[in-house]
Amino acid sequence: MKLSIIHTNDIHSHFDNFAKATSLIRDYSDEHSLVLDGGDFADFKSIELQGTRGIAAVNMLESTGYDAITIGNNELFNGNDTLEHMAVQSTVPFISCNLLKANGDSFNGVCSSTILIKNELRILVTGASPDLQEFNDLMGFQILDYVEAIRVEIKKQHGNYDVCIVLNHVGTQADIELAEAIDEIDLILSAHDHVLYEEAKIVNNTILNSAGMYGEHIGIIEVEVSDEGIELLASSTISTAKAVEDIEIQTILQVSREEAIAHLSKPLYTVSKPLWHDVLEENPMTNLIADGLKDRFDCDLGLINSGIANGGLVDYVSNKKLIEICPSPLNPTYFEIQGKDLYAALESSLNSSVCMADGKGPGFRGKYVGRLHVSGAKIQHDHKQIKMITINDEPFDYERWYRVASSDYLLRGSGYPELANNRNFHYQPDEIKDVIREYAEKEAFVTDAFKKRWV
């Protein structure tokens, strides 16, 4: 019996591409087809999602005809309440066999697996979410070992299925190891690391495929299911570049955008001065973030890159503006770093090519790395080299371990590799945009943001 599996992964709210993917999915689907997504479909940089608590994503999944989606890290980033709201409202099963709340309870609406019926075939679909390590506790959930959780789920469903599909969000290399570890899996659809397979792989008689990222491709697997097992007939990943955008998805996006804008545009408060922004020049918008971070953690130094923001604030603050100027789901972060590494990072920030480099990195939704901005420091320089630094009016010490308030982006050394040489880090559960929301309302912080630190 023939079975076709059409799949996507890591759309990351690139919904223009997804509208094209939907057209292809409708073209290639027939009575033998399943449509599956491997997670990170809903990236909450999207106003449509922020303003509808993710329901815009649910509506698009349902419209396209998906049979299941695995929960990726981005489905988790807007909080447990939002995930449950999406999963409960969705007719498309939200799957994760290794995700629990911090107290051990299951998430409402989330299932550990589902059994789909297609042409009298019973198809078990399960899958796992990625381990976010220290972020698990911070965000209020726990992640079980994915190999053991999948093994347990398959054992629990023994005798109830004909085909086993693992829709996984842990990465392609991890899935290769999974195929070697568990013989009962027939097909693994990979996600998380954005790898594009030109054609499916076979490992330990398990078929593996991955469809890249951002809705740029859809994957198609065609198999023959018989009493002897599953035979791979054909596989492909098809570009969406030349496809026409699906009208129904366009309509859902338009309606959701209008709803979101109405909800998110309400002014929260006015700002007394325009907080302008620039990637290369010291600016009050980024200084405000640095000052707010230092105040939150009560440490030696606030440190943030201007690329964290896409623009400034004028007249008033609204949730819509905050999402637009700071879409990255990055967390306020504390770490300790030795003076010599801090100095090297600060001096490299005088190099415009460093500031204008692609800011790519986990969680980053901006374009450029941007210049480092500080709070609690004075930096004298000649635009090429640093001449002198003082920290809280004390001479700079190359050997001292400084207590720094920053973001998890800089903690990892993204853009400024020297900053990765840190220790004793911890996070706050909200995001950098929440720092802006909190401190742009405080007149004293707005005034201080205009005081130069690089002189």
pLDDT tens for each residue of 74-112:
999 999 999 999 999 999 999 999 999 999 999 999 999
| pLDDT, position 228 | 87
Q: Residues 220-224: what's their mean pLDDT? A: 97
| Residue 252 to residue 94: CA distance in whole angstroms | 20
Task: Kindly give the interhelix angle for 55-64 and 15-28, rounded to the nearest 10 degrees.
Answer: 20
Q: What is the pLDDT of residues 348-380, one digit of tens each?
A: 999 999 999 999 988 898 999 999 999 999 999
Q: How far is CA 297 from CA 215, 217, 301, in A?
A: 39, 43, 9
Q: Between β-strands 332-338 and 163-167, what pairing exists: parallel, antiparallel or unpaired?
A: unpaired
pLDDT at 119 over 90: no
Return the pLDDT at 362.
86
CA–CA separation, 449 and 441 (whole Å): 12
* Residues 405 and 302: beta-carbon distance below 8 Å: yes
At residue 288, what is the residue type? L
CA–CA distance, 13 with 57 (Å, rounded to integer)? 8
Taking the C-alpha atoms of residue 452 and residue 455, their distance in angstroms, rounded to an integer, is: 7
- Burial string for 321-343 (b: 16+ CB within 10 Å, else e) reads bbbbbbbbbbbbbbbebbbebbb
Q: Please check whether the two domains, 2-260 and 267-448, share a CATH topology.
A: no
The domain limits of the chain are 2-260, 267-448
Domain 2-260: give its CATH code: 3.60.21.10
Q: Residue 72: is its pLDDT beyond 90?
A: yes
pTM for the model stands at: 0.85
Residue 284: helix, strand or coil by DSSP?
A: helix
Give alpha helix (H) positions in 211-246.
none
Contacts of 75 by beta carbon, 8 Å cutoff, 6+ apart: 39, 40, 41, 42, 54, 83, 86, 94
Q: How confident is the model at residue 424 (pLDDT cuts 50, 70, 90)?
A: very high
CATH of 267-448 given 3.30.360.10, 3.40.640.10, 3.90.780.10, 3.30.565.10: 3.90.780.10
- Read off the pLDDT of residues 128-182 as tens digits, 9 standing for 90 and up: 999 998 889 888 999 999 999 999 999 999 999 999 999 999 999 999 999 999 9
